[in-house]
Structure 1
């Protein structure tokens, strides 16, 4: 198997912050077959999520000062220079919420919001380079930002990441970001007919599943909810789920 690489400006990691760590671990273990490895007190008991020995994502219990914040998945993009990118984010109208910080010998991270309000992270690797498998059951499959200003988001991310973008044909406004002709992420325009005003701009993480109908059944049986029932797309069948603490994500049975 060819090792995955994550050039600057492409997705490299995903992590979940949750207020119900034990219920949530049981949920994802049942749904995807994930295992969780506690990194210890030096890392704030951050967990690395693996499947079959492959790196998938990260997992952490919310600290007391985060109690009022929703549980959520965060998408991290690879960076060659987190500090320079933090400055660039501000220049482009974004906001840096967590300043660049070194995580031992693993790498440097920051968390920011784009000018439309969607949160994302950057990761400048040292010894840790991100997820190691994609497209298999329980592994990352896609990521997209949902925003009420898709043209503004497009300008921000193409400039920040040095990416190209294409608009998909069809009735909805959807752009794909590309690095070196490889599609890396999507930008979707939120409309009032599908997203209530109470839903803020956000990044959506997709995980692959072998059987979408079974995934939906397992999610419901394990304490999750189905927020969007399975529907067909040009790329596969998709459903949107929420885990036991309300963090939303998508699953996709990819067309093979």
Structure 2
């Protein structure tokens, strides 16, 4: 199982789930992906890391009682070299920080923000924790992409704040990759009248079988498994409402 050791600036480097019942979430995602868990100390709010082969792939945290208005959702974190400068750049380029820079007990420094189109994301400046140690393997993240009513504005923002390159526009619809060091690391595309959303895609060996497991464990299959140019894909809403995608690729 290959292990990630570092991320370039702007690359999606971590994901975590804010949920209402963390024990139920752990059971669900273990059934789907075979995850095990490391539960942090009380001073971290018992922040939980999902593990594959003992290596971290994602995080989970249960919402506090006073956070009932927060959505149950997966959050994508983009890597920053300097969180303070990134916070300033977010403001300068029309984004809206939702937090100040937060020092996470020496593990790293983070920000939660919304881009100018309303897409919510997080920023991670690594300390001891670099982010996901396993990616592009079954049960781990394989792709992150933003759907938004205004993809051109979003591209301007992420390029300016994180130095990401923008790939060529696909001819059939308004989709481009975002690139770091010449490599595709995510996507941005226009979905008219949609609520902006950064969606997490998990690699799986068999999309149909995993979607069936999700369904049998109380999830809703929003998009039935279908073939795409990039692999066989399905969209799932977990039992608490978080939406994510499955993707089986040749590497899966």
Q: Output the TM-score relative to the length of structure 2.
A: 0.96
**Which residue does 1:237 correspond to in 2?**
232
- Give the match's secondary structure for 2:91: helix
**Which residue does 1:251 correspond to in 2?**
246
Kept in 1: contact 2:170–2:176 (CA 8 A): no
**Which residue does 1:127 correspond to in 2?**
128
**Which residue does 2:166 correspond to in 1?**
165
- In the TM superposition, what is the alpha-carbon distance from 1:7 to its structure 2 partner? 1.5
Distance across 1 between alignment mates of 2:173 and 2:250: 21
- In the TM superposition, what is the alpha-carbon distance from 1:169 to its structure 2 partner? 2.5
Q: Deviations over 1:132-157 (max 9, x none)?
A: 11111101100000100000001001
Distance across 1 between alignment mates of 2:234 and 2:39: 30
Distance across 2 between alignment mates of 1:3 and 1:255: 20
**Which residue does 1:107 correspond to in 2?**
108
**Which residue does 2:221 correspond to in 1?**
226
Kept in 2: contact 1:13–1:130 (CA 8 A): yes
Q: Deviations over 1:59-80 (max 9, x none)?
A: 0001112112220000001111
Let me know the Cα RMSD of the aligned residues.
Answer: 1.2
Kept in 2: contact 1:167–1:173 (CA 8 A): no
Q: Deviations over 1:9-39 (max 9, x none)?
A: 1111100000122221111000000112110
Kept in 2: contact 1:34–1:138 (CA 8 A): yes
Which 4+ stretches in 1 moved above 6 angstroms? none
Aligned residue pairs total 250
1:139 and 2:140 are equivalent in the alignment: yes
162-171 vs 246-255, which deviates more? Answer: 162-171
1:24 and 2:25 are equivalent in the alignment: yes
Q: Deviations over 1:86-107 (max 9, x none)?
A: 0100000000001101011101
Kept in 1: contact 2:37–2:51 (CA 8 A): yes
**Which residue does 1:194 correspond to in 2?**
none
**1:173-212 matched pairs, under 5 angstroms:** 173-191=174-192, 197=193, 199-212=194-207
**Which residue does 1:98 correspond to in 2?**
99
Distance across 2 between alignment mates of 1:3 and 1:119: 25
Kept in 1: contact 2:19–2:63 (CA 8 A): yes
- In the TM superposition, what is the alpha-carbon distance from 1:2 to its structure 2 partner? 5.8
Structure 1 residues not aligned, in runs of 5+ = 192-196
Kept in 2: contact 1:26–1:222 (CA 8 A): no
- Give the match's secondary structure for 1:167: coil
Kept in 2: contact 1:20–1:244 (CA 8 A): no
Kept in 2: contact 1:76–1:121 (CA 8 A): yes
Structure 2 residues not aligned, in runs of 5+ = none
